[in-house]
Chain A
Amino acid sequence: MDFRKKKETQMKTKEPHKNTSTRRSFLKGLSIAAAAGSAGLVTGGCVPLEKTEEMGLKWEEYFKKNYRLMTQEEKDETVARLERLAKLKDDADIQMSNQEPLDQVLYGYAFNISRCKGYMDCVEACVQENNLDRKSKTQYIRLFEMDPGQLDPTSGEGKYHHEVPVDHKFYMGVQCYHCENAPCIKACPTKATWREPDGIVVVDYDWCIGCRYCLAACPYWGRRFNWGDPEVPKEEMNRKQHYLGNRMRMKGVMEKCTFCVQRTRQGKLPACADACPTGSRVFGNLLDPDSEIRFVLKHKKVFRFKEELGTDPKFWYFID
């Protein structure tokens, strides 16, 4: 057995509530006491009550664990804290979920390069759904106009300012491929990114230290870095969020496509597949022999980008 895997299973099997006197829990208790104490000291003065509540919540947030080590109770607590913090800070009524993966599900995606017309509705839907930074124009999906015979998206043109589709061109979308053997996961020094049991590669934004090793390791340009604090107009913000998905990121952390974890775990299609007006995007459960994605794999000419790297992407391109 690969000993990294062994370590992971150890991490999972260890029950966090058994060893009650860890350094972290000690610090957490201490910090809460300190926050409460300092709050008590200053409330006689000029700090309003919301401010102290916000400070207390931030303290507790600061000492929380990696998401994978949290008990269900701790997950519920942090989600509640983040919802409350969003209300206090931005007066935003968000609903954050920490929904677990569904059983017997492994997500897969197929992209029809002979149907895509390059309208880019998927890119825009993704930006809206996932609360992507409008200031730096962050996009998870990139779409390129390609010459026939080319299969390398670096040769394509993304800034086409003309009506599409154009004759004798085809359009190819690139995003995170959610590799089964993902190089980005191996590169992460803090285990802030991992593959969920349903195959989605996610990031714990609160555990990411922003070293960008994953960005360098990914051969598919699938990851995005927040150089500044992401800005989303309040009226455009998607309030249905997931802890591992589209909740608001902060400066200095990595983010990426999550197959819209907040939607797909509720049985919905990712925003890109739902928005596509041409039906070029097929999404479904790879473990279900009756699913559309399995039909595509069985009956269509499919290929995966840079398959020779052995990363096993769960994203296929196909032609009619």
Chain B
Amino acid sequence: MKKLFFCSSLPFFVLGTVLLSGQSAMASGGSFMDRIHAADEPFDNTAIETAYQLPVKTVLAKESYQGGTFKVLARKDSISRYRCSVCHTDKKVGVRDGALFTHSDIEVNHGRGDDKLACIECHDEKNRDLLSDAQGKKIDFDHSYQLCGQCHFRQKRDWLGGAHGKRETFWAGERVVLNCTSCHSPHSPAFKTKMPVTYSLPLEE
């Protein structure tokens, strides 16, 4: 009887050992996070030929990303009345034209509470074709991240690294990222509320 018990339990014992060792082998085989952390060779971005030229105009950023260069979407092309110095001259403007030329359509909703920003806190007082930061440094419209970053430095740090904002179309190839003003209206930077495009079904269905 005892022998029989031994004989019948042996296969289970062997099976159990095999299964257990198999599991531990998988666990000690190194997690894939180790593989990720061990990968320190930068990806050869020239290996991927971007299928087509981006349909957007870009400029080389005046910042560096991981020690290299990157591009941002140009801004000036999408400002309908650029260049500003065409209108902002010493020439006198008639009352009728003045109504046409003032920026009455712009609503500034930038800044906390009632303490909204004034135009010249970002726009240069003298040269209307440029922006200027709190220290008076002149900044091009295409490089507005330099201006935004003086207050929103955390967002700028994340944007430089890639945790804020997004890339244009491609994850590979030359790094082209959206500018601050590609997503945020500079005069009213918070995202608007709107209706969702669709809806989701519950998970358990």
**A contacts, CB < 8 Å to B:** 1-3, 102-106, 108, 110, 112, 115, 117-121, 123-124, 127, 137, 139, 141-144, 153-154, 158-165, 174, 180, 221, 264, 266-269, 273-274, 276-279, 281-297, 299-300, 312, 318, 320
Contacts and interface: CB of A to CB of B under 8 A. Distances in A.
Interface stretch (B33-41, B97-105, B113-121, B125-133): B33-41
Please give me the 7 A-B residue pairs with the lowest Cβ-Cβ distance, nearest first. Answer: A292-B162, A158-B200, A288-B43, A267-B172, A295-B161, A267-B48, A142-B200
Contacts of B197: 119-121, 123-124
- Contact residue range for chain B? 35 or more
B39 A290 contact: no
B202 A158 contact: yes
Given A276-B166, A283-B171, A312-B32, A154 B204 contact: yes
B51 interface: yes
B166 A279 contact: yes
Contacts of A285: 43, 171-172
B68 A290 contact: yes
Interface in B18-53: 22, 25-26, 31-33, 35-36, 39-44, 47-51
A62 to B, nearest CB: 33
A139 B203 CA distance: 11
B149 to A, nearest CB: 15
Nearest to B29: A2
Contacts of A112: 163
A105 B163 contact: no
A320 B158 contact: yes
Contact of B26 (A2, A267, A297): A2
Most B CB within 10 A of own CB, among A221, A274, A281, A288: A288
Nearest to B49: A267
Nearest to B40: A289
25 contacts: A2-B25, A2-B26, A104-B43, A105-B43, A106-B39, A120-B196, A121-B197, A124-B197, A139-B200, A141-B200, A158-B201, A164-B194, A164-B196, A221-B204, A264-B171, A266-B48, A267-B171, A269-B166, A279-B178, A285-B43, A289-B40, A290-B65, A292-B171, A297-B36, A320-B163
B18 to A, nearest CB: 9
A119 B195 CA distance: 7
Nearest to B48: A267
Given A102-B48, A285-B43, A289-B41, 16 more contacts: A102-B47, A108-B36, A112-B163, A119-B194, A120-B198, A153-B203, A164-B193, A264-B171, A266-B48, A267-B48, A267-B49, A267-B172, A279-B166, A290-B42, A290-B66, A312-B31
Nearest to A174: B203
Contacts of B39: 106, 286-289
Interface of B: 22, 25-26, 31-33, 35-36, 39-44, 47-51, 65-66, 68, 154, 158, 161-167, 169-173, 178, 183, 191, 193-204
Nearest to B202: A158
A124 B199 CA distance: 9
A277 B183 contact: yes
B158 A137 contact: no
A320 B159 CA distance: 11
Contacts of A174: 203
Contacts of B171: 264, 267-269, 273, 283-285, 291-292
B1 to A, nearest CB: 35
A288 B165 CA distance: 19
A115 B197 CA distance: 17
Contacts of B167: 269, 292
Most B CB within 10 A of own CB, among A162, A266, A282, A292: A292
Nearest to A171: B196
Contacts of B196: 118-120, 143, 160, 164
A256 to B, nearest CB: 15
B199 A287 contact: no
Contacts of B49: 267
Contacts of A102: 47-48
Contacts of A139: 198, 200-201
Contacts of B31: 312
Contacts of B162: 282, 284, 291-293, 295-296
B172 A160 contact: no
A121 B197 CA distance: 6
Given A102-B47, A143-B200, A163 B183 contact: no
Nearest to B36: A286
Contacts of B183: 277-279
Given A120-B198, A289-B40, A267 B166 contact: no
A276 B167 CA distance: 11
A18 B117 CA distance: 75
Most B CB within 10 A of own CB, among A3, A119, A153, A164: A119
